[in-house]
Amino acid sequence: MVDVESVSKRYGRLNAVSGVTFSVKEGEILGLLGPNGAGKTTLMRIITGYLPATSGAVRVGGLDAFDHALKVKRRTGYLPEIPPLYNDMTVASFLRYVCELKGIPRKRRSECVAAAMEKAGVAAVAGRLVGNLSRGFKQRVGLAQALLGDPPLLILDEPTVGMDPRQIIEIRRLIQSLRGSHTVIFSSHIITEVSAVCERVVILNRGRVLAEGTHEELVKLAEGKGGDGAKREPRQWESTESLYARASGLENVFLRLTADDAQDDDGGGDAVE
C-alpha cells in the first residue's frame, strides 16, 4: 500500500530524514518509533504530500505521492502532529467543512460526520466551539477529521498526545479495530503504545531507519547483538500476553539500538515512558 524508497529530506544543512526505505502492506498497522526529532513527522509529511522529499520517492497504492498528489490525498486521512483545527467553528461544522474539502458528496456528509464523531468519541461535544475544548478533545476532533470519508490509508502523527489514560486506551482500541480494513501508519515516542497497537515497527533515530520488523524479529535482532537485551529468554515473555511484558522487551531493543547509534545522543532517554 505504501512504499517509501530511500527518501531523504534536508532542511538547509540539517538532514531531517536520510535514505529511509520501508513499505507497508495493505491492512497493516505500522508503528514509527523514535525519540523526539528522529524525523517521524517529516517522514509523515512527505508521505501525505505536504512536503516534497529532497530525494527518493513515496508510492501510495502504486501511485507516486508527488506526481499524483490529488489522487493520493483522496485516499489518505491524516492527523498532523498539531491537530489542524479552526477555533471559531463548532466541532460539527468543522467536520462538515472537511467533508467538503475531501469532496464527499452532499448526501453522504451527515452520515460521514456522524460516523467519524462516533468513532473518535466527540459526538457529545458536536455543538461546542473547537477553541473551547480541552486538549484531549481537540486531539480527538483532529482524529475524527482524519477518519472522515473512511480513507483506506490513515497516517496518524502521535494520535494520543494530550489524552488521559482512558482516552488513550479508547484510541488504541479504535486503531486496532482498523486492522485488516485500513492501512495505518502511526507514530509515537511511547514504546508501550507502539508495541500495544502495531504489527510491525520501524525504529527511527536521527533521520535513519535503525531497525524494521515485527516485534519478535526486533527482539531477536537485539539479542543477536548480545548485551542486556538478550538476557531474558524470549519465550518467557512472548507467551505472556501482558502488555507490560511485551513493552519491556521492545524497550530493551529500543534502548540498545539508539545507544549503539549515538552514544552522545540523549534523545533516547526521554523517549521511553
Partner 1 sequence: MSKTFAIYRKELKTLFVSPLAYVVMGVFLGLTGYFFALILFNTREASMRYVFGNMAIILLLISPLMTMRAFAEEHRTGTDELLMTTPVTLWQIVLGKYFAVLTLFAAMLALSAEFPAILFRFGDPDLGPILGGYAGLLLMGAAFVAVGLFASSLTNNQMVAGIVAFGILLLLWLIEWAAGALGMASTKVFEALSILRHYNDFEKGVVDTVHVYYYFALVFLFLFLSIRSLETRRW
Which positions lie near partner 1, rule CB under 8 A?
Answer: 45, 48-52, 70-71, 73-74, 76, 78, 80, 82-89, 97-98, 100-103, 145
The smaller minimum CB distance to partner 1, of residues 74 and 135, is found at 74
Answer yes or no: are the C-beta atoms of 242 and 179 closer than 8 Å.
no
**CA nearest neighbour of 271 among 173, 203, 184:** 203
Q: How far is the CB of 48 from partner 1 (least distance, A)?
A: 5
Query: How far is residue 61's CA from residue 260's CA, in Å, rounded to a whole number?
Result: 35
Q: How far is the CB of 143 from partner 1 (least distance, A)?
A: 13
Q: How far is the CB of 161 from partner 1 (least distance, A)?
A: 14
The smaller minimum CB distance to partner 1, of residues 104 and 247, is found at 104
The smaller minimum CB distance to partner 1, of residues 44 and 222, is found at 44
- Tell me whether strands 63-64 and 55-60 are parallel, antiparallel or unpaired: antiparallel
The smaller minimum CB distance to partner 1, of residues 44 and 191, is found at 44
The smaller minimum CB distance to partner 1, of residues 42 and 205, is found at 42
- Strand ranges for the chain from DSSP E: 2-11, 14-24, 29-33, 55-60, 63-64, 76-79, 153-157, 183-188, 200-205, 208-214
Q: Give me Rg for the CA atoms of the chain.
A: 19
Q: How far is the CB of 231 from partner 1 (least distance, A)?
A: 44
Q: How far is the CB of 145 from partner 1 (least distance, A)?
A: 7
Query: How far is residue 250's CA from residue 215's CA, in Å, rounded to a whole number?
Result: 7
**Residue 22 vs residues 31, 54, 100, 195: alpha-carbon distances, Å:** 12, 17, 33, 18
Q: How far is the CB of 86 from partner 1 (least distance, A)?
A: 6
The smaller minimum CB distance to partner 1, of residues 45 and 246, is found at 45
- Tell me whether strands 153-157 and 200-205 are parallel, antiparallel or unpaired: unpaired
